[in-house]
Each structure stands twice: as C-alpha cells, then as structure tokens.
Structure 1
Amino acid sequence: MKWIWQLPNWPQFTFDTARFTHWEREFHRNAGVIIGSLAAISADEVNELRVTLLSSEAVDTAKIEGEILDRDSVQSSIRKQLGLQSDGRRAGPQETGVAQMMVDLFRSYQEPLAEERLFSWHKMIMNGRIDLEVIGGYRTHADPMQIVSGRLDRPKVFYEAPPSDRVEEEMKQYIAWFNQAVEAQMPTVIHAGIAHLYFELIHPFEDGNGRIGRTIAEKALAMGARQSLITSLSSRIEQDKKAYYQALERTNASLDITEWLIYFSEKILEAQVYVQKMIAFIIDKARYFETYHSQLNERQTKVVLRLFQEGLTGFKGGLSAENYIRIAKTSRATTTRDLAEMVDLGALRKEGRLRHTRYYLPAWGVAEDEG
C-alpha cells in the first residue's frame, strides 16, 4: 500500500472549511470567556491556575504514551522554573524535562516555530535517556520508522513514516507551513489540528513525537487565542486514548482530513470547557479559605488542602475517616471530632452512614467527587 506521504499531492491536505465555522466561532468565544475570567482573579490565583494546567498537561501528555510521571514532582519543578515558591523536592530527569518543555511553551508561545526550539524540546523530554542514537536532532537511522502493535511474533504495522533521509527537508517544509499559516490567519482549530497531524505523519524524532506534536498544537491554540494559558488538550485526549489513536490511524491513506479535524476540534472545545471549570474551581477554593481558614485547626487545614490538590474530581468516592487519619496522622477519636466540627461549620458535607460515611467539600457535587 502507499502511505499518505507517498501520495502525489503530499502534503496538500484537503478538508471542508465550511464545516469548521461553528467550532472556530466557539473556540474564540470560549477564549474570550477564559480571558475575562482571568481578569476577575488575583495574580496568585492566576499563577496557581497556570501551574495546575502546565503540570496536568505535562503528566497527561506523558501518560498518553504510557509513561507515568510523579505529579507532585512535575508541579514542584514548574513552580521553581516560574520563580514561584515550591516545596523544594527533587524531581527526576523525566519530570524535570517535560516541566521545562511546558514552561518554555508558556514563555515562547508568540514566537515563530523554529527547528532550534523543536531540538531544545526534544533534549528536554529525552532528559536522562541513553538508548537513543540522536537526542536534540532528527532521526538518522536507516531502519523504517514504523508504528506497530499486536503480538511480538505477529506485529501489525499501522503506519510507516518517511525515511530518515527525507526528514530534514520534510521538516523545513513543515515549519514554513506552520509559520505561514499564522501569518495568513488560518482558522485556529484547523491550524492546530493540521499542525499536530502533519508533524505526527513526518514523525521526525526517534522518540517523543507524540509529546512534541501535542505541544505544537498547544502553541497554535495559544497563538490563535493571543494568550499564553495552556488549553489542556492532552488532559482531554488522555480520557479516551483509544479514540485518539483510531482518529490518527484513519488518516493514513487519504489527504482529505476533514474527519480528523472534526475529532480534534471537538477535543479543543472540551479542553476549553475544562479550563473554565478549573478557573471556577480555583475561585471556589479562594472563597472556601476566606470563609473557613480562621475556623480550621492545622490538621483540618492539611486535609482540606489535600482534598483541593485532587482537583475537580476530588477523592474518588469521597473522603473517609481512614483517609483523614492517614493524611492528618492523628487518632480515630480526634478524627471523629475534627470531622464533626467541619460538618457543623459547613466546611464539609456528610453523606452516608456508619462505615459508608463519606465527606465532600461544599464546592462540589457528589457526582463530580465520584468522578
């Protein structure tokens, strides 16, 4: 079979532009709502939101590739690089590298895409790797770059990228296209969707193509929205990785990428809704501590901070007395008293009875807590 890059008109992608008018309008409407919401919160809250979104994107883009990172270490590294107060914990090379890439994206989102930046990102996310021939440069190996799955004895090749000796020229063309699309004011959802797909089809690096490709899409979205806040695209994609890989696989044989762009546009809008929820969550958190901070003891405050650290979904199934004992490092009798006081104050909401009793922060509903 012919791969997409072997087709005569490669890389002249086609799509039905009219089908994306609604998504483009919604993207910019959502971006306006987000920018307006940011104006209503403090500088400290904006920084907290930025750290949360950057760290979530870093962790989730790695998780899509099957790599599990320590979220607290990533967040600590991002705080340190942004010049914010951190807990001082030492992050591993993988956590440090992906955190560096996310912070660099945030700081440089307005700059044109350049080969040097891609090489820099690759060095960051391959931090500590010793098994690759080239780090910080395009692949050079003679073997085909294949995407395979299935049993080791019967692998199935889903896609084969252009050979290594074509990559440099392909990437020159790609980078020129990306920057020209910005100048031509290509609709943002289309620009981001093509930018990600086109990069993945070239697959220019030995490893890390998915993570860098999604970062490029985030860059396109930030440029289109004219603001540096990460859209949390990977966090939405990671919710259904199978659909993501299936959507990519379906693009292998045709330059008509309308269906891919529909899938990607939907994910972009989902990600924007998630960001809006995160802003509301941070506002709720600030209001919560304005109301209850002076009324909570040190143990109670520690547990509440841990609950908020779980983000929008909270503790799965709610907070139990056992959770409280473990987090606060206290006795069962003290736990019972602390929890009863918090319920009386309205700082926690109680659900269930006896061993099924669970506690929830008042900012969330039960359905969200059980996420």
Structure 2
Amino acid sequence: MQTYQTYIWQKSDWPHFTYDATAFHDLIQEIRYQQGLLEGICNGLTTERLLEMQSETLALDAVTTSEIEGEVLSRDSVRSSIFKKLGISYESQDRSTIQTDGLIDILLDASKNTAKTFDENRLYSWHAALFPTGYSGMHKINVASYRGDDPMQVVSGHIGKEKVHYIAPPRNIVEEEMQRFFDFINIPTNDNGYIRAAIAHLWFVIIHPMDDGNGRIARALSDMMLSRAENSPIRLYSMSSAINDSKRSYYDILELTTTGTMDISAWIEWFLQTVLTAQQNAHLTIEKVVAKARFWQLHIHNDLNPRQKKVLNRLLDAGKEGFEGGINARKYASLCDCSRVTASRDLSDLLDKGCIKSRGAGGRSTSYDVEWESTK
C-alpha cells in the first residue's frame, strides 16, 4: 500500500496558507451580485413562501451532503424533520428519524448561530447529532470526541490493491491542530468572508479530527462561514447540492491540495466557483416555490381530501420536470395506503378539477402529471 506521499500538514510552513486574493476579485464580485439578486427576489416573497424556500434548500442540503458520503436519506424523513424544526404544519404523518432530526439541527445551528463561538463543545454536539446511536453503519465509533489512535487514512480500492489518497495528522497532535483551527474560526478579521469559508472547509478536512462525519461537518462549517459572510440566517442556496453535482472534481481538488504546497489558490477558486454555481441553481428552487404557490392559488376553492393534497404536494415537489413515471393508481394507493379503487376515484376527481392531466394511454396504465396552468 502506497504511503510515502508527503502531505500539506507536514510542510515546514504549515498552517500558513498562501493565495493571491486579487485573483478572485471578479469571481467574488459576481458572487456578491448573485447573492444580492437572490435576497432581492426573496424579499418579494411572502413569509410563507420564504419559509418554504428555506425548507426546500434545507432538504436539498441534507439529502446531498449525505449522498456525497454514499448515504441515502429518505426525503420524507428529511422533510418531516424540517417541518417539525421550522414549525410548519403538515398533514401527512411524521416520518422523521433521530438521524434526520440531528442533521437538520446541525444545518439550522450552522446558519442561525453564526455569531456563536465554534469550539470543541459545539463540534462535539454536531458530531453527536450526526451519530446518535454511537455507530456509523455497523461500526462503533468515538462520538462527541476526537478520533482514536489508529491512523486516519482516506483509502480506495480492493484489499491488497488499496490506494492511499490522504493520511491525516496523527492523533497526538489533533488537539493542538484544532486549537489553531478554532482560533481561525473565532477571531474576527477583515479578510474576505467567502475566502475564509473556503479555508475553513479545507482546514477541517486536512485535520480530519473525527472518526467519521468529517466531510459533512466541513460542509456545515462552510454554510456557517457563508452565512456569516452574508449576514443572513437563512440559506438561499445549497453548497452541498452543487458539490454533489461535481463530486469527482471535489475529491480531485481536495487530493491535489492536501498533497500540494501551502499555495491553496486552486482550491479557493474551485470553492468560489461552486458557491456561484449554487447561487445560480437556487433560482430553480425559487421558481419551484413560486409555481407551487401559484398552483394552490388556482385551486384554492377546490374541495380536496388529505390523500389528494398529499399526492399533489409530492408531484409539485418534483417540479415541472415531473414525478418519475408520473402518478398512477398503483403509486397513489402505495403513497396513501389506500385501495386501488379509492386511488382511481381520487385521481379521476383530480382530473375533473383540473389539478392533473393524463400522460396519454388510457385504462389501468394511465399515469398523470400536475396541470400547472389549469384554469378550471
């Protein structure tokens, strides 16, 4: 197994990162412009729509930060946790889990409590929320404490043909390394907040202080630092979603930087470009929230039962690109735990009221999509 590589934390000038801030001037100006644009649009939304925008972004963040690590979360569980934490009323049953509750707690704490000191205790509380059972999968890990004495390695490949991508600092210097990191996070400076967010993410990944969850905590720290830079307690865009969309380049730039010199310009540029991409993607979320609100305004006088409202919300949450395969009687019955007869009757009623439209073929194979612009 290859282990002879020198890592950034072994450099004589660690942790004195270098970069040319002027090289990012245009990119940061565009980020600020996009942030102002998003804030302006959201200022025009009602309190209810803004809350929905926040919940959509939170759900995207929670699902994708886990997906990056190969963990698939139930969107229903995530949404239930968000609705519960934000005090949003909902008609379907509570499907939240202790895991999704904990992750949403972290994401909300990161964005809402930006002025709060980030120290060992707060880090431990995040870690405990990530791993409430004390296990990562089937493996018992150190929870709410730094990792054990075994070397921390990022490895891929089959047994006997492993490739070591990174080795973190040894356990006996983790406390010292983390103290310097906490000082960076907590001591105010006049440095650009977006660049500081990029450094915080990288620095935490380099130390890799926990048994597991380092990536998810690093991304939550990014959210905290970005919220601090933007002086906003509400995340209007999802960094984790943008990172997940370019996951391969994320790991490539991290590997390049952690095995390189103290000049981290390439990482900062990648991070800032990802911020910009996330901001641009946020317009799609806003469009979905506005379109969903318009749909319910069109059908405000329709008498719909709880099953119909639940299914319509699932279809609307999928956006105009559509619910995969549309909705049919079989899927409806499964979602609502009702009979096929009841499902067919409900769908027929929704069709008559202009809430849905047929995809084509009739009979048992008929499936439906939302009728976004119905005027019935």
For residues 75-86 of structure 1, what are the structure 2 equivalents within 5 Å? 75-86=79-90
Q: TM (normalized to structure 2)?
A: 0.85
- CA change 1:25–1:32 in 2 (3 A) is same
**How big is the shift at 1:190?**
1.5
Provide structure 2 residue ranges, at least 5 long, that are not aligned to the other structure.
Answer: none
**How big is the shift at 1:146?**
0.7
CA offset digits 1:39-96 (Å, max 9, x no partner): 2222222222222222221221111111122222222123223333355525333222
Does the CA contact (< 8 Å) of 2:99 and 2:132 recur in 1? Answer: yes
Amino acid corresponding to residue 289 of structure 1 in structure 2: W
Determine the C-alpha separation between the residues in 1 that align with 2:125 and 2:344.
Answer: 54
The corresponding residue for 1:52 is 56
The corresponding residue for 2:352 is 341
Provide structure 1 residue ranges, at least 5 long, that are not aligned to the other structure.
Answer: 365-371
From 169, 179, 193, give the equivalent of 2:176.
169
Greater Cα shift, 350-359 or 127-136: 350-359
The corresponding residue for 2:74 is 70
The corresponding residue for 1:236 is 242
Amino acid corresponding to residue 32 of structure 2 in structure 1: H
- CA change 1:135–1:83 in 2 (3 A) is same
From 199, 206, 215, give the equivalent of 2:204.
199
The corresponding residue for 2:17 is 13
- CA change 1:351–1:171 in 2 (3 A) is same
Determine the C-alpha separation between the residues in 2 that align with 1:146 and 1:249.
Answer: 12
**How big is the shift at 1:223?**
0.8
**How big is the shift at 1:35?**
1.8
From 97, 112, 115, give the equivalent of 1:110.
115
The corresponding residue for 1:136 is 144
Amino acid corresponding to residue 242 of structure 2 in structure 1: R
Determine the C-alpha separation between the residues in 1 that align with 2:252 and 2:140.
Answer: 27
Determine the C-alpha separation between the residues in 1 that align with 2:28 and 2:371.
Answer: 35
The corresponding residue for 2:28 is 24
**How big is the shift at 1:317?**
4.8
Does the CA contact (< 8 Å) of 1:24 and 1:187 recur in 2? Answer: no
Determine the C-alpha separation between the residues in 2 that align with 1:157 and 1:333.
Answer: 55
The answer to whether 1:315 aligns with 2:323 is yes
Greater Cα shift, 35-44 or 314-323: 314-323
Question: Aligned Cα RMSD in Å?
Answer: 2.7
* SS of residue in 1 equivalent to 2:172: helix
CA offset digits 1:158-187 (Å, max 9, x no partner): 10010011111111111211233xx32322
Determine the C-alpha separation between the residues in 1 that align with 2:310 and 2:151.
Answer: 53
- CA change 1:178–1:323 in 2 (3 A) is same
Determine the C-alpha separation between the residues in 2 that align with 1:360 and 1:225.
Answer: 38
**How big is the shift at 1:200?**
0.1
CA offset digits 1:86-121 (Å, max 9, x no partner): 555253332222122122223312324322211110
**How big is the shift at 1:286?**
1.1
The answer to whether 1:97 aligns with 2:102 is yes
CA offset digits 1:281-320 (Å, max 9, x no partner): 2121111111123246436544321202335643135445
**How big is the shift at 1:243?**
1.9
- CA change 1:66–1:46 in 2 (3 A) is same
From 251, 254, 274, give the equivalent of 2:281.
274
Amino acid corresponding to residue 283 of structure 2 in structure 1: Q
Determine the C-alpha separation between the residues in 2 that align with 1:150 and 1:110.
Answer: 42
Amino acid corresponding to residue 125 of structure 1 in structure 2: L
Determine the C-alpha separation between the residues in 2 that align with 1:262 and 1:305.
Answer: 38
Determine the C-alpha separation between the residues in 1 that align with 2:62 and 2:206.
Answer: 22
From 300, 303, 308, give the equivalent of 2:311.
303
Determine the C-alpha separation between the residues in 1 that align with 2:372 and 2:255.
Answer: 41
